[in-house]
Structure 1
Amino acid sequence: MFQTTSGIEDEELAEARKLIGEKVRLPELFNTIATRESIRHFAYGCGDDNPLWCDKAYAREHGHDRIMAPPTYLYSVFPPGVCPAFPGLQGFHAGSRWEFETPVLEDEQIDVSAELDDIKDVMGKRSGRTLIMCGRTEYRDTNGRLLAVNHSKTFRKPRPGSPGGLKVERPRFQPSESEIEAIENEIVSYRRRGAEPRYGDSVTVGEALPRRLKGPLVIEDIIAFAMAIGNVMSGELAVKNRHFYRQHPEQAPTHRPLGWLLERVPPAAGHMNPDVAKAVGMPAVYDNGWLRMCWMGQFVTDWMGDAGRLRVLDVRLRLPNLVGDLLKITGEVVSVSPGQDSTRVELAIRAHRQDDELSCHGTATVELPHR
């Protein structure tokens, strides 16, 4: 189904490292203007129905002239992940550090640039030899004002059938009817902070954030998110693109291996197709790591309230999230630093699966208002 390799080759790695520091040629951006509809579609695609992102009257009532986009909306402009070279290695999103400078507002026009920052050659306890490709992506408005910087990490692993190929094996989570009912009750009873400001002087070190559930993961979650960020393409356009890039490789995007663009079945199809998932080493359809990043961002924005500001979201993805998996997201306050205009709060955040395995973890920095 896919190109395979004899493993991670040192010579190929040396050649790939020559690309470090070079700007990559990006594909056509999906959302270049943050329209009201694209913001709403993205938010709903993540399962986030905060009216601040969707309701113009609500936004105005709470001090905003225009609808504000969720901080992670930038995934729908260009989902960051710079991993050129190694067409025979599979890629898995390993996490990101977002540094948010300026909120994205309705009708903002957005430009993007990206480059490969580094390639790390590591030996994982479970995964064996793995490459971690580090990218830097900048998002700016048309005046050059910086909106956000993303520092992404992508795991690169040989596919099954190659030496050191990935092979994940575990059964699907099958909750009982009573467990499903308890999960749904917790989901519908969860309340975001919303319009009531969370003031900096009301927060204490060690304070726990209310637990939030996401899942059990269903294929609809994956499809809704893929549509929200433009990560799916019609079969006809895929054929036309593939043939065009075969004839004009010099015009192909360079943030991914050219070999991926020429394959009839894209490697990312494992997010929806169980046969492809198994071909890349997963036991079943698995989530897009970008979606998990957005869920962690939503966990923070729900807690801080509409008057807060998310400044940094830094999350490491550790294990795949398969269809059927339930995530239990928790966190706590680790520091509180009052400033002249706001209070800076550092959070530790994490998500465990239903089997208590750590799915992802990280930190977030928010600014909360003074009274």
Structure 2
Amino acid sequence: MTPERWGVIDETSINEARELLGVPLRRDRMQWNAVATQDAIRQFADGVGDPNPLWRDSEYAAQTRWGSILAPPSFLYSVDATIVAPKLPGVQWIYAGTRWRWYDVIRANDEFDVSVVFTKMEEKTGRRFGIWVLQTGEITYRLKDGSLLCMAEGRVARTPRREKRKLKKKSLKREKLPKVTYTPELKNKTTETGATPIWESVNIGDVIGPISQILTLNRIFQWYTGAQGALHYGGAHGDAVRYRNRHDDYEINKETGAKDSAARGHFSSKEGKDVGMGGAYDVGLHRIAWVIEMLTDWMGVEGHLAEVDIDVLKPNIVGHITYFTAEVTKKWFEEHPFVALRIQGKNQFSEITTEGTAIVALPAEEYGPVALPLFGGNPKRWVENIK
């Protein structure tokens, strides 16, 4: 890699990346957990900030239909981070979103086999970056017995690096800020009881939230320790040196001349501004895990989160608050009783930073408890029945 080719998005670099379409990818640096041990589950839940006793209290979990501790659906981010961003050396990657489809729950001591294929590459243009690329990969999570647990679609934006720019200070639109009615005390009470809505009792137009989450440096550190460590960026010490000698995706620190990862922008306001994000900013996976926490709190112990498809639209800066809501938009029965929801997250400036959809399977008076795996673990039946 010559210096003039570093960080360049053009026909040559795009075609080099396209050569990997359909190719299984190596994932050793995307896996933090290979087994859902109780410690790994608890540490991940701590990283999200999710106190749900189903993820951590053996006595509580033993009284549920599951009989033992489960992992939150977002735990699979720690099994494979869903980041699929091959080639384009030196071109910044920004996590853009995930579509998750969970066929079954994740049980304590489950072991995983993961396969990943680079499936799509789209050229985009915009005012902010000019030409940029959206890369998509399909991640398949199977249990050791071969049964299908989950399929995910990970989306990553590859954007040219920008020099530090002066940002116009925003003013709070206080009259538009939602009233936060979901207090920490109420949240803890909800997760302790594990109350599950019955499918027949849910109505189109029902709203969950708003639920507020504030981003702090401490919460970012917690996410890294529970969900991913430093592996994505080459690890630490000798491991990092070896990684940086093999890869051209590291910037040169202009003050010291040392190679360093763009991930430093998550921990430092100065570095976050240097990579064009406006300050120290969140990890997109973490924000989606917050959405999943809201949904699992609402659906209770008996519900099953079937699908989440979330786009990360704007940076969430340290000190910002995100107000999440979910509105029921549809309910239907197709092998299982389903509810569809529209997800939205706004910051304190009333800007939409996060949006998407979700599907939850709920127990029903007419149909009984949710039967798993959904659609017998058959992806074809899923596509045929959920449109």
Superposition TM-score tier, normalisation by shorter sequence: 0.7 to 0.9
Match of 1:179 in 2: none
CA 1:6 to 1:307, structure 2 compared with 1: closer, same or farther past 3 Å?
Answer: closer
Task: Decide which of 307, 312, 327 is 2:322's aligned counterpart.
Answer: 327
- Offset from partner CA, 1:94-140 (integer Å, 9 cap, x none): 00100111211000111211121111111135443221111111111
Q: Does 1:259 align with 2:261?
A: no
Match of 2:225 in 1: 227
CA distance in 2, matches of 1:244, 1:210: 46
Identical positions, percent: 29
Match of 2:96 in 1: 94
User: Per-residue deviation at 1:357?
Assistant: 0.3
Match of 2:195 in 1: 196
User: Per-residue deviation at 1:222?
Assistant: 0.5
Read off the aligned partner of 1:62 and give its amino acid letter.
T
TM-score normalised per structure 1: 0.86
Match of 2:305 in 1: 310
Contact residue 22 and residue 115 of structure 1 kept, 8 A: yes
Match of 2:269 in 1: 274
Read off the aligned partner of 1:169 and give its amino acid letter.
L
CA 1:144 to 1:167, structure 2 compared with 1: closer, same or farther past 3 Å?
Answer: farther
Match of 1:47 in 2: 49
CA distance in 1, matches of 2:361, 2:219: 30
User: Per-residue deviation at 1:276?
Assistant: 2.6
Match of 1:107 in 2: 109
Tell me the C-alpha RMSD between the 2 structures. Answer: 2.8
User: Per-residue deviation at 1:147?
Assistant: 1.2
CA 1:42 to 1:242, structure 2 compared with 1: closer, same or farther past 3 Å?
Answer: closer
CA distance in 1, matches of 2:7, 2:343: 38
Match of 2:40 in 1: 38
Gaps of 5+ in 1: 177-181, 250-257
User: Per-residue deviation at 1:43?
Assistant: 0.8
Q: Following superposition of structure 1 onto structure 2, how do residues 54-69 of structure 1 map, counting pairs within 5 Å? A: 54-69=56-71
Read off the aligned partner of 2:140 and give its amino acid letter.
E
User: Per-residue deviation at 1:91?
Assistant: 0.7
3-state DSSP of counterpart to 2:236: helix
Which deviates further from its counterpart, 124-133 or 70-79? 124-133
Which deviates further from its counterpart, 189-198 or 152-161? 189-198
- Offset from partner CA, 1:144-201 (integer Å, 9 cap, x none): 211111101111111124xxxx85835488999xxxxx97983444453642221000
TM-score normalised per structure 2: 0.83
Gaps of 5+ in 2: 253-258, 366-387
CA 1:283 to 1:262, structure 2 compared with 1: closer, same or farther past 3 Å?
Answer: closer
CA distance in 1, matches of 2:92, 2:244: 21
3-state DSSP of counterpart to 1:48: coil
Which deviates further from its counterpart, 106-115 or 166-175? 166-175
Match of 1:238 in 2: 236
Contact residue 82 and residue 152 of structure 1 kept, 8 A: yes
User: Per-residue deviation at 1:286?
Assistant: 0.1
Match of 2:347 in 1: 353
Read off the aligned partner of 2:65 and give its amino acid letter.
G
Contact residue 204 and residue 333 of structure 1 kept, 8 A: yes
Read off the aligned partner of 2:183 and give its amino acid letter.
E
CA distance in 1, matches of 2:79, 2:171: 33
